[in-house]
Structure 1
Amino acid sequence: MTKHKCFLGLAILATLVATPAQAEEVSRKAADLMAQNSNSTDSVDQNSNNTQPPNTPLSPSLPSEPLYGGSDTASKLPASNYWYVSGSVGSASPGNDVQGSSIFNNKLNFALDSTSSWNIAGGYQRGNYRSELEISYSSFDVNNASIDTQSFPFSGNVSTTSILGNTYWDIPTGSKFRPYLGVGIGAGILSGKIKYQGQEADLGTGSSFAYQGKVGLEYELARKGNAFVEFKYLGIGKYQNDAGRDVTPPNSYGVNVGYRLGF
């Protein structure tokens, strides 16, 4: 503002002491200096107002978190979509006695004790569903027998081997603990030997339709590695032995603990 007054005073003074032409020249120079000073001041004001750095986004981008997509990624949820193998051991209790008939059409009935069992399987985990092929084995001891209505202290064993295709539903819980339900169908292979006072009789070997149901609980200890405990019911239909006699095999209830390893 002070500079503007000085330039204006000089212009007026020039008009008083100079010739008209000189006064006009002085006035023009003063006007030019005032215009340059005004442009310089406006440029400084614009620069002081433009404090936003170039290429600065309106809002900073947030780092993306890895999301669970049903694959082998870091997550609080179990892994999915992989092949696996599993093994388990446990116990099996007979749900019924073995029944059959002799060559004289006598009714035979063999009472069984509980026994140990083992299972191996291989399959594929897809999302919350699994499909597998399982082989299980149990061998029950005979503790008593009856022929018609008369009881005898028979001994021996009856073994069952089942080959089943199973399907499971792992119930999602939002954590690595998951209950599950399973069903399976396939074939049961049975054989047995009965002993009495040094004599041994062979029940023969046969196969029949088999089915099972399971309920269990699993926990992912390591990525694609699950420990589990399960309860199951295994049913096996009647079969004919080598002598052509119908034999009713033992259905069984069992509990197993095991581990499933994915790769």
Structure 2
Amino acid sequence: MKLFTKLFAAAAVAASAVASPAMAGPYVNLGIGTGFGTDVDGDVNGIDFDVDARTTFGGGVGLGYDFGNIRLEGKVTLSTADVDSVTVGGVKYDVDESGYGRGIGLDLEYDFNNDSKFTPYVGVGVGTSWADDADDNAYGFSAIAGVAYAASEKIDLYGEIAYEFTPEQEIDGIDYDSNGEFGATVGIRFAF
């Protein structure tokens, strides 16, 4: 019976540490970043195309909850992208087009808490976005790795690298192949 009591007590202490108000709670996140470039392939009415593009600016606001080592965050984003070239039917055309998009997403992240002010973390996300010239939305997934710095008890500064992946899908009658882009973000989190 003593073993059961000790295990119960240890579990209660561990649970209270995860749910401790000093470690957990809501926060607001502000971030800005950029992408490193991508090729978007697909076809329109059976004619193949390839687009060379890059997310030039991405910014967002998130509202999250820190459960201790695990954080769950919803966010809204705004991004701009530049298209440098389009290849259609084997012929490359240099273009100088820009556009913007809006999105919403949900991230689940795991913090590797330690005794220093630096906390590495990893995460995954899912989201959907709308381009300024599209009627349909696109959906995608992300894998995230970053480091947060505890600037104070209520403020974290962070930097992260993410790979954002969009699976094959049809948007406004255009068939897009799967594609992805690496990007970097810096930001600040304010705890309540």
Say whether the fold is shared (TM-score over 0.5). yes
1:82 aligns with 2:32: no
- Cα deviation, 1:196-247, whole Å, max 9, x if unaligned, reads xxxxxxxx332233111111111111212111111111112233233x2313
Cα shift at 1:111: 1.2
- Give runs of aligned pairs for residues 4-15 of structure 1, distance below 5 A: none
Structure 2 Cα separation of the partners of residues 165 and 232 of structure 1: 14
**Within-5 A mapping of 1:196-211:** 204-211=134-141
- Give the CA deviation at 1:249: 6.9
2:35 counterpart residue number: 92
Residue number in structure 2 paired with 1:71: 21
Aligned length: 175
User: Is the alpha carbon distance of 1:177 and 1:241 closer, same or farther for their aligned partners in structure 2, counting shifts above 3 Å?
Assistant: closer
Partner of 1:134: 75
Task: Give 1:235-246 correspondences, 5 Å limit.
Answer: 235-242=165-172, 244-246=173-175
Tell me which structure has the larger Cα radius of gyration: 1
Structure 1 residues without counterparts, runs of 5 or longer? 1-67, 73-79, 193-203
Letter in 2 for 1:93: F
* Residue of structure 1 in register with 2:9 after alignment: none
> Greater helix percent: which structure?
1
Residues 129-138 or 159-168, more deviating: 159-168
**Counterparts of residues 146-165 of structure 1 (less than 5 Å):** 146-165=87-106
Matched, 1:218 2:181: no
For 1:82, the aligned partner's letter is G
* Gap change, CA 1:100 and 1:155, over 3 Å in 2: farther
Q: Does 2:173 match 1:234?
A: no
1:261 aligns with 2:190: yes
Runs of 5+ in structure 2 lacking a partner? 1-15
**TM-score normalised according to structure 2 size:** 0.80
Q: Distance in 2 between matches of 1:181 and 1:113?
A: 24
1:164–1:184 Cα contact (<8 Å) kept: yes
Identity of aligned residues (%): 23
Secondary structure of 2:114's counterpart equals coil
Distance of aligned partners of 1:130 and 1:120 in 2 relative to their CA distance in 1, 3 Å threshold: same
Whole-Å separation in 1 of the counterparts to 2:118 and 2:162: 19
Residue 110 of structure 2, aligned match among 138, 151, 169: 169
Deviates more, 1:247-256 or 1:168-177: 247-256
Task: Give yes or no for contact 2:34–2:57 (8 Å, CA) kept in 1.
Answer: yes
Do the aligned residues in 2 keep the contact of 1:164 with 1:210 (CA within 8 Å)?
Answer: no
Q: Which digits, 9 at most, give the CA deviation of each residue in 1:127-159, with x for residues without a partner?
A: 111111122333221111111111122332354
The whole-number CA distance in structure 1 between the counterparts of 2:122 and 2:100 is: 26
TM superposition score normalised by structure 1: 0.60
